[in-house]
Amino acid sequence: MNTIWSKFIQGAKTLYYSRKLRFDDKFANMYKALFNLDKQKKLKILEIGCGSGAFAGALARWYPNAEISAIDRDSEFIRFAKEHERGVTFIEADITALPFADESFDVVISNTVYEHIKPSLFYNAQLRVLKPNGVCLVLSSRKGIAVPPDCYAQNAYEKAFWKKAEQYDNSIEKYSVGKYYLNEAKLPFAMEQNGFKHIKTGYVIVNLTPDNTDISPEFAHAIIDADRYSAIESIESVEQTMSEYFSNQEINEMKRIANNKYDIRIKQYDNNEKQWDTSVSVIMIMRGTK
């Protein structure tokens, strides 16, 4: 059982609810235009590194005639995905040993995966399972905009907590998170150098601003609560991995402070007290063919 990523890097809820926002159907047309897939065809699509399943679920909605498979090596992510998304075959597996025959898929797609895997390994695995002229889609989060509301500011207790946690946290370095990150110019070169052709790039801009008038109350609450899940799971990660350094009282106080912040922000939203906090994601999409 492998739970390294969900335990040390990002929790299942953090990954799921942030991606539910990013791949909400309101943004579907932007993605589909860049994917340029035949939605009428019964495509076989594989997502590599599916996390807790939100993107795979979106693909199932956007391409109802397709057969969607999704793999991740983290056991907790796969368990969570199976409970929360339908219409997808979720499999616990690693890109280094894909459990599929050669030329099995019409499309292979990944989101924020390439930067953690050596490029030759990343692309060669996809070339093997893609059919001739199959499509490889690589999504990568780029630098966006993040302006939190004032109520999210850290107090002295929180600053001291996170400063203490930093002393014992080597997970980013230990698990090679982002080791193979490439800039926007080098990314297409890597795809081309590793066997793909007809490469195109494009960008999707996802604006998550709760106070915008075109955002429903349900979606605004979802934006705020996605941040809540991330904050709580970050604290729980400290609790699970550094329990010898932190008391239950410290952990519970951090959770109380965090929940109070997001309760305040929701109350501000419900009372129409504009904060104009925003999170704008920039997602680069590369498309190549075998």
Residue 40: per-residue pLDDT:
85
Residue 248, judged by CB atoms within 10 A of its CB (0-12, 13-18, 19+), counts as: exposed
How many domains, the chain? 1
Residue 174: per-residue pLDDT:
76
Which residue type does 156 have?
A
Side by side, which strands form the sheet with 197-208? 88-92, 67-72, 44-48, 105-111, 130-147, 278-289, 197-208
Q: Distance between CA atoms of 77 and 73, rounded to whole angstroms?
A: 8
Model pTM above 0.85: yes
Residue 8: per-residue pLDDT:
81
- CATH code, 239: 3.40.50.150
The helices-and-strands tally (H runs, E runs) of the chain is: 11, 7
Compute how many other C-beta atoms are within 10 angstroms of the C-beta atom of residue 269: 21
Which segments in the chain show pLDDT lower than 70?
none
Residue 274: per-residue pLDDT:
98
Residue 173: per-residue pLDDT:
77
Q: Distance between CA atoms of 55 and 111, rounded to whole angstroms?
A: 8
User: Cα dist. 245→94, 154, 164, 167, 169 in Å?
Assistant: 33, 21, 9, 10, 11
Residue 131: per-residue pLDDT:
98
Bridge partners (DSSP) of residue 47 are: 70, 109
Q: Distance between CA atoms of 227 and 260, rounded to whole angstroms?
A: 12
Domain that holds residue 21: 4-289
Residue 171: per-residue pLDDT:
75
Q: Which contacts of 190-193 are long-range, i.e. CB under 8 A and separated by 24 or more positions? A: 190/114, 190/119, 190/123, 191/123, 191/136, 191/138, 191/286, 191/288, 192/288, 193/119
Largest CA distance in the chain: 58
Q: How far apart are the first and last CA of the chain?
A: 33
User: Among 212, 8, 210, 35, which residue's Cα sits nearest to residue 116?
Assistant: 8
Asked if 288 and 135 touch (Cβ cutoff 8 Å), the reply is yes
What is the per-residue pLDDT across 107-158, written as a single tens digit (0 to 9) for each? 999 999 999 999 999 999 999 999 999 999 999 999 999 999 999 999 999 9
What letter does residue 35 receive in the DSSP assignment? H
Ramachandran region of residue 51, left (φ > 0), alpha (ψ -120 to 50) or beta?
left
